[in-house]
């Protein structure tokens, strides 16, 4: 991986954002200072990315808002991968009635529209916690992965090494997690990263559209306020307020895509270049 600078850049970007999410909220005070005399101030030494509609430092908003975005996206990715992989593996390996039941359940999950569901849920729950946001996004996003993993499991279960495992009388748990899973791990790992990207877009998109209560500081809320309250689309004064979260989302996506490339190469030696 180290031979390819692009992939190193991907890792650096992700580590950078992870550090931002981890320690950012500790660098800045819980209540970021406001200054009504410095509304939409331009970039300066004191405010490298300018200020927002209440004179708050945009860099501080960006850094402190990163945790919600990253944490919820990571949780969403993990939930989708764990649920999707488990259901896919069990359905594909066991076949029969179990497969039938789990496949129909998966089909049902695929028909549940995730974003409208979140909008409906937001009327009773306010999603101030990234954990709940991540869980809901994950629980609405595992269907596609389960179908794909099931197909892989159906194919792999006929391989000789799995027939041997069954012949040896190894328990189901061992076969699923020790024999079957490692062979689809690269696919699952890539899906984890793709799910994380999808979740970032979904949550920032929902906050940007204003369909979720803007109670928390995150990049989607920044985008919403920049466009709908600050008029950043038509006014250059508030441009940094708009660009800061936008560029961050693009950079983070770029980092994940580059890392995805590296992960693919790690798990698939044929892709490695000399």
Partner 1 sequence: MHTSVWKKALALAAIAPMLLAACSSGGKTASAASGGIFTTVNEAHPITAGAPMNPFNASGNTFDSYDQVELGYSEYSATNPNATFPALAASWSLGKNGSLTVHLQPKARWSNGAPVTATDVKDSAAIAFTQGTQPSNLASVTILGKKEIRFNTIPGSTNQLFTSQVLATTVVPASVYGKELPSNIWTTITAATYTGSNPTKVAAAKKAQASLTTLGKKIAAFAPSKDVSAGPFVLARLNPGEALLTANPDFWARSRIAPKEVVMRNYTGNQQIWNYLIAGQLDAAPYTAMPTNVLHEILHTAGNKEVKSPAYVAASLAFDEKDYPYGITAVRQALAYVLNRKQITTVGESVSGQPVRYQTGIIDAIAPKWLSHQELSSLNPYNLDPAKAATLLKSAHFTKKGGQWYMPNGKPWSMSIESVSGFSDWIAAGKFMASELSSFGIPTTESIAPDYATYLANLAKGAYPVGFWLTALGPSVADAFDRIWGPNDGFVAVGNKVQHSSAGNWMNTPTSYHLPVIGTVQPGTLTADLTALTGSAAKAAVAKLAAAENAELPVISLWDYVNVQFVNDKHFTDWPIGQAGLLNDPPGVWMMQGYVHAK
Phi, psi angle pair for 116, to nearest 5°: -60, -35
Of residues 236-255, which lie at the interface with partner 1 (CB under 8 A)? 237-238
Whether 143 contacts 109, CB under 8 Å: yes
Short-list 211, 223, 214, 216, CA closest to 249 = 223
- The yes or no reply on residue 128 touching partner 1 (CB under 8 A) is yes
- Total residues contacting partner 1 by CB under 8 A comes to 31
H or E stretch covering 213: none
The binder of partner 1 chosen from 164, 229, 247, 271 (CB under 8 A):
229
Q: Give min distance, CB of 214 to partner 1, in A.
A: 5
Note whether 34 binds partner 1 by CB under 8 A: yes
User: For partner 1, what does the binding mask look like between residues 169 and 208, x meaning CB under 8 A?
Assistant: ----------------------------------------
- State the residue for tokens 């189901």: 172
**Among the candidate windows 81-89, 99-107, 195-203, 233-241, which touches partner 1 by CB under 8 A?**
233-241
**Min. distance of Cβ 58 from partner 1 in angstroms?**
14
Any contact of residue 108 with partner 1 (CB under 8 A)?
no
Least distance from partner 1 to the Cβ atom of residue 31, Å: 4
Q: How far apart are CA 208 and CA 216, in angstroms?
A: 12
**How many alpha carbons lie under 13 Å from residue 55 in its C-beta half-sphere?**
7
Q: Using alpha carbons, select from 206, 230, 62, 24 the residue that is nearest to residue 127.
A: 206
234 binds partner 1 (CB under 8 A): yes
Alpha-carbon span 242 to 220, nearest angstrom: 10
Q: Which residues are 51's β-sheet partners?
A: 57
Residues that bind partner 1 (CB under 8 A): 30-32, 34, 36-37, 39-40, 53-56, 126, 128, 210-211, 213-216, 225, 227-231, 233-235, 237-238
């Amino acid at each position: 991986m180290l031979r390819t600078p692009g992939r190193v850049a991907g890792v650096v970007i992700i580590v950078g954002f992870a550090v931002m999410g981890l320690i950012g909220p500790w660098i800045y005070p819980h209540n970021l200072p406001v200054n009504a005399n410095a509304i939409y101030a331009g970039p300066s030494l004191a405010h490298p990315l300018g200020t927002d509609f209440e004179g708050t430092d945009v860099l501080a908003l960006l850094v402190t808002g990163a945790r919600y975005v990253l944490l919820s996206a990571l949780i969403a990715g993990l939930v989708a991968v764990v649920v999707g992989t488990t259901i896919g593996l069990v359905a594909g390996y066991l076949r029969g009635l179990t497969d039938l039941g789990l496949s129909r359940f998966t089909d049902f999950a695929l028909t549940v529209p995730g974003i409208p569901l979140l909008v409906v849920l937001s009327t009773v729950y306010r999603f101030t916690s990234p954990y709940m946001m991540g869980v809901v996004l994950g629980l609405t996003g595992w269907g596609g992965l389960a179908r794909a993993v099931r197909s892989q499991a159906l194919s792999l279960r006929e391989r000789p090494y799995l027939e041997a495992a069954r012949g040896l009388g190894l328990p189901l748990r061992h076969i699923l997690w020790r024999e079957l899973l490692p062979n689809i791990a690269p696919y699952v790992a890539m899906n984890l990263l793709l799910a994380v990207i999808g979740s970032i877009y979904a949550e920032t998109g929902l906050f940007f559209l204003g369909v979720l209560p803007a109670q928390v500081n995150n990049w989607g809320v920044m985008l919403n306020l920049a466009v709908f309250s600050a008029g950043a689309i038509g006014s250059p004064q508030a441009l940094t307020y708009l660009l800061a979260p936008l560029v961050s989302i693009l950079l983070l996506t770029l980092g994940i895509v580059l890392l995805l490339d590296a992960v693919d190469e790690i798990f698939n030696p044929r892709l490695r270049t000399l």
